[in-house]
Amino acid sequence: MSKQKKSALQEKKGVSISEITNSSSIESIKDKRKAKIDTNALVTSILKKNITALSRAITLVESKNQKHKTQANAILKACLPHANNSIRIGITGVPGVGKSTFIEAFGKHLTAIGKRVAVLAIDPSSTITKGSILGDKTRMEDLVKDKNAFIRPSASGESLGGVARKTRETIILCEAAGFDVIIIETVGVGQSETTVHSMVDFFLLLKLAGAGDELQGIKRGIIEMADTIAINKADGDNLKKAKLAKVEFNRALHLYPEKESHWQPKVMLCSALKNEGIDAIWNIILEYVKTTSKNKFFNNKRSEQNKFWLIQTIEEQLKSDFFNTPKIKKALANQIQLIENNETSPFAAADYLLNLSR
């Protein structure tokens, strides 16, 4: 950098040349230039349905920074009285079943009838690089342009069931921002999808015909959690297979005991690509809400979910506190070394570390 340029930059920024050439000082200057977050103003904007404010609040909630955590808690507390007014829908299915295509068609249908829709799309994180593609906005290019829709892709991280670490809190923020329907798209299927089931009102399972899925209908797990099974891509040459699959799934569902909600799960055919059967699925969801609201299950389920998330939050915080304790970090490294040298077992090492933390 020339002396003339340094001098000009020094005059503009009001800092010394030594500070300019120091990378850490430059970062410090950038930090000072960042505007402080006004929590009250952010909450006010969220309640006014400001999408930029909502996105910023979600970023604070997802942050691991302790200062951000304090601000996020304040925002959540202020937004909580304005939440709980949406229908929360979990949507899952094997890769290739057409989740993104379905959600876009479903979301467009809802906005067309005057609903505001928030899509919380969970992308899988690499266990190696920890990165995620976060490409849901690209896959839902029509819905993302809809002024009554909001799509927020988040990385699953290490969370069980492909649910982002702070999805539960994000739901509260979206509800406070006036969204009528919250859709949570998960990364896949399995027993771990109970995590999604624990934060939604209605659980929709997307299936494919002719992919061996009919046999899975007689197995427990993901099937018994579903409030409706939608067989997607029921069009063209695949329509006949889809109809046969519907019969098989209906037979399988009758093998299960009656749900606590007294709701009998439905099996539907749809084609997200051709926009067929989408409205029928929405009508089923409305029927479910009406039925479960009338028999009090809807509110009771939400109450139980809140208790579940209380325990989950405590467990996550205890885990975080344990591994971030300086003496545990040091002792953990030593115990790992002992394990590698066959001088102790993983179980003895765990006991030692747990006792050390008490």
Q: 154: alpha, beta or left, given left = phi > 0 and alpha = psi -120 to 50?
A: beta
- pLDDT by residue (tens digit) across 117-151? 999 987 654 434 333 344 455 668 889 999 999 99
Sign of torsion, CA 292 298 299 300?
positive
Nearest to 60 by CA among 78, 74, 50, 47: 74
Instruction: Please report the pLDDT score of residue 44 as a whole number.
Output: 96
Residue 96 has pLDDT above 70, yes or no: yes
Instruction: Please report the pLDDT score of residue 211 as a whole number.
Output: 62
Write down all domains in the chain, each with its CATH number in brackets.
Answer: 1-25 (no CATH), 35-82 (1.20.5.170), 83-295 (3.40.50.300), 306-357 (1.10.287)
Confidence label for 62 from pLDDT (cuts 50, 70 and 90) = confident
Alpha-carbon distance 58 to 167, whole Å?
Answer: 9
224 Cβ partners below 8 Å, 6+ apart?
256
Confidence label for 95 from pLDDT (cuts 50, 70 and 90) = confident
Q: What are phi and psi of 91, to 5 degrees?
A: -125, 125
Instruction: Please report the pLDDT score of residue 36 as a whole number.
Output: 66
Average pLDDT over every residue of 75-91: 95
Instruction: Please report the pLDDT score of residue 225 as a whole number.
Output: 87
Alpha-carbon distance 306 to 33, whole Å?
Answer: 39
Residue 310 has pLDDT above 50, yes or no: yes
Alpha-carbon distance 231 to 245, whole Å?
Answer: 8
Q: What are phi and psi of 133, to 5 degrees?
A: -75, -40
Q: Give kind and range of the element (H or E) at residue 175.
A: helix 167-176
Instruction: Please report the pLDDT score of residue 187 as a whole number.
Output: 67
**In a 3-state reduction of DSSP, which class is residue 97?**
coil
Query: What does pTM read for this prediction?
Result: 0.80
Of 137 and 186, the structure prediction assigns the larger pLDDT to: 186
Of 334 and 28, the structure prediction assigns the larger pLDDT to: 334
Confidence label for 186 from pLDDT (cuts 50, 70 and 90) = confident
Decide: 177 and 209 in contact? Cβ < 8 Å.
no
Average pLDDT over every residue of 188-200: 70
Of 1 and 86, the structure prediction assigns the larger pLDDT to: 86
Question: Which residue bears the tokens 């029921």?
Answer: 234
- pLDDT by residue (tens digit) across 234-279? 999 999 999 999 998 888 888 888 889 999 999 999 999 999 999 9
Instruction: Please report the pLDDT score of residue 156 as a whole number.
Output: 57
Instruction: Please report the pLDDT score of residue 212 as a whole number.
Output: 57
10 Cβ partners below 8 Å, 6+ apart?
16, 17, 20
Instruction: Please report the pLDDT score of residue 15 as a whole number.
Output: 46
Half-sphere exposure of residue 66: CA atoms within 13 angstroms, side-chain side = 4
82 Cβ partners below 8 Å, 6+ apart?
47, 175, 176
Instruction: Please report the pLDDT score of residue 218 as a whole number.
Output: 41
Nearest to 87 by CA among 201, 227, 186: 201
- pLDDT by residue (tens digit) across 31-40? 543 556 789 9
